[in-house]
């Protein structure tokens, strides 16, 4: 059904008719739907109303891909939620404020554009020579939570993809001393909103190919001039080199994040090493099986 020109959401209008693009589109849609199902992102509210998602749109390739795929799934009756696109204009110098409103109006996408000059706060608080990203992200997230509450949304939906998740894992490993990454689904600290990442299984390269092929009006994320020398960029370069040396390694590493074995790690909070005994493991049917070493 994906190949019928008239069976398409407006966000896909004008899509290339090449076999390569059709395969790309199918793959992204399939992987997004798999993540939504696997991590239980769709849930009816207690009063039986249809959930409403705040879909965060920065104007980058990832958020455009997210917006298009979610509307595609909803268009086909596969995503029983209401979608509200939201862009937070943070007052960055040179931000093209009219691009996203005009695009969303043209596509017929329900949306809210919010202006909050967090850029001035970040410039004032962050010492010269330091990157703005951490504080900027926290301020952005706080505003998005507020907007979600005001709009009656149950979830804030972000465009982080597979490579973002991998990079965060290695940043935590190299710099944070912990095994952790961006989860596909979590509850915010206040406990009143979900945060979803439906593109968790989608490769960054696929997002880039898709957004470029669709000719979406991309807004760069480096308007503040604070991107050089980031730890994330260093990790990305390492992963790029690994992928170059062994194509497919990113996917293998990502698969490892879905296949954790607490008994083969060193965290006693995750596995009860202290009370481990051969007799108990062999005789207690209720005990979790310990994977064999290999």
256-273 burial string, b = 16+ CB within 10 Å, else e? eeeeeebeeeeeeeebee
Residues 6 or more apart whose Cβ sits within 8 Å of residue 178: 172
The number of beta carbons lying within 10 Å of the beta carbon of residue 151 is 15
20-27, Cβ contacts within 8 angstroms, sequence gap of 24 or more: 21/213, 24/206, 24/209, 24/210, 24/213, 25/210, 26/2, 27/206
Whether residue 221 is annotated as binding a ligand: the answer is no
Angstrom distance (rounded) from CA 144 to CA 116: 11
* Structure tokens given for 172: 């935590």
Q: How many CA atoms lie within 13 A of 68 on its CB side?
A: 26
Cα end-to-end distance, the chain, whole Å: 45
How many helices (H) and strands (E) the chain has is answered by 10, 6
Which of 25, 20, 33, 34 lies closest to 2, judged by CA?
25
Residue linked to tokens 């004008």: 14
Return binding residues.
Answer: 133, 136, 224
Return binding residues for [4Fe-4S] cluster.
Answer: 133, 136, 224
């Amino acid at each position: 059904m994906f190949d019928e020109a008239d069976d398409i959401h407006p966000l896909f209008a004008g899509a290339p008719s090449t076999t390569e693009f059709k395969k790309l589109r199918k793959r992204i849609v399939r992987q997004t739907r798999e993540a939504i199902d696997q991590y239980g992102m769709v849930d009816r509210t207690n009063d039986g109303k249809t959930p409403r998602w705040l879909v965060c749109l920065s104007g980058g390739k990832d958020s455009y891909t997210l917006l298009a795929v979610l509307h595609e799934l909803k268009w086909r009756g596969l995503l029983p939620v209401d979608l509200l696109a939201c862009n937070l204009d943070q007052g960055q110098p040179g931000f093209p404020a009219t691009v996203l409103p005009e695009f969303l109006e043209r596509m017929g996408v329900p949306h809210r554009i919010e202006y909050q000059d967090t850029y001035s706060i970040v410039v004032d608080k962050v010492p010269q020579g330091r990157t703005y990203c951490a504080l900027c992200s926290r301020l952005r997230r706080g505003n998005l939570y507020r907007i979600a509450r005001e709009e009656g949304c149950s979830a804030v939906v972000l465009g982080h993809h597979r490579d973002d998740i991998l990079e965060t894992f290695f940043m935590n490993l190299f710099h944070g001393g912990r095994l952790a990454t961006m989860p596909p689904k979590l509850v915010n600290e206040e406990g009143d909103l979900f945060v979803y990442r439906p593109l968790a299984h989608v490769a960054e390269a696929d997002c880039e190919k898709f957004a470029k092929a669709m000719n979406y009006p991309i807004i760069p994320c480096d308007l503040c001039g604070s991107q050089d020398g980031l730890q994330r960029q260093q990790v990305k370069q390492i992963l790029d080199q690994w992928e170059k040396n062994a194509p497919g390694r990113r996917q293998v590493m990502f698969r490892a994040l879905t296949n954790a074995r607490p008994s083969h790690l060193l965290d006693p909070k995750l596995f009860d090493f202290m009370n481990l005994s051969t007799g108990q493991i062999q005789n207690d049917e209720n005990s979790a099986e310990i994977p064999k070493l290999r």
